[in-house]
Amino acid sequence: MKNLIIIYFLLLLSGCSSIAFDSDHATFVRVVDGDTFIATIDGTDEYVRLLLVDTPETKRNADEVQPFGEEASKLMENTFSKGDSINLEYGTELRDRYDRILAYAYTKDGDMFNEILLEEGLARVAYVFPPNDKYVDRFREIEAEAEKGKLGVWSINGYVTEFGFDSNAAKVNSEIR
């Protein structure tokens, strides 16, 4: 662990804004929801929060599962299995205020899962806090394509807002149909 910290600081001093570890440093444990999972990193189970994406809630309130929240969680379950080695690319700031690791997660095929969520219309670009914003421009382009195609969360008028997902808009839209 001490060597990893030294490498991280050397990379920061050289101007590198993020660090990617090999897959043997993270092992997928389980899905928490569409944008959060548990992984074993250096022998410790850690909550990992995907950077720059937000998926609808499935756990906040037992009475309310937001539309497309279960689909986002299922996509993660279908992409990663317990025990899978995964690659994580950490943000410049390693943890959020809830002590979760902040990262971009990569599939076995090398695809970034954060992008997959956006491509499928199961997430919005959110929580953009520099310096943890390395891929924000690319993510916004992907999000715009999903919105244009009315995929997932973008299929419900007024559901995606600047502040999250508006369940009332989802209810109104379902009553209109």
Buried b (16+ CB within 10 A) or exposed e, 28-43: bbebbbbbbbbbebee
Q: What pLDDT score was predicted for residue 88? A: 96
Side chain identity, residue 109:
D
The identity of residue 143, as a single letter, is: E
Which residues have a catalytic role annotated? 49, 57, 100
SS3 content of the chain, % helix, strand, coil (to 5): 35, 30, 35
CB 87 within 8 A of CB 106: yes
Q: Is the C-alpha dihedral spanning 74, 75, 76, 80 positive or negative?
A: positive
Amino acid found at 99: D
Number of C-beta neighbours around residue 68 at 10 A: 27
Taking the C-alpha atoms of residue 110 and residue 14, their distance in angstroms, rounded to an integer, is 26
pLDDT at 62 exceeding the cut of 90: no
User: What pLDDT sits at residue 59?
Assistant: 77
| Residue written as token pair 């379950």 | 77
Q: What is the pLDDT of residue 170?
A: 72
Nearest to 104 by CA among 139, 60, 52: 52
Please state the φ and ψ torsions of residue 88, each to the nearest 5 degrees: -120, 135
- Report pLDDT for 171: 72
What mean pLDDT value characterizes the chain? 85
| Confidence check: pLDDT of 127 > 80 | yes
For the chain, give the percent of residues with pLDDT over 70.
Answer: 80
Instruction: Quote the percentage of the chain above a pLDDT of 90.
Output: 75
pLDDT class of 176 with cuts at 50, 70, 90: very low
pLDDT band at 63 (very low <50, low <70, confident <90, very high): low
CATH match of 18-176 with 3.60.15.10: no
pTM above 0.85, yes or no: no
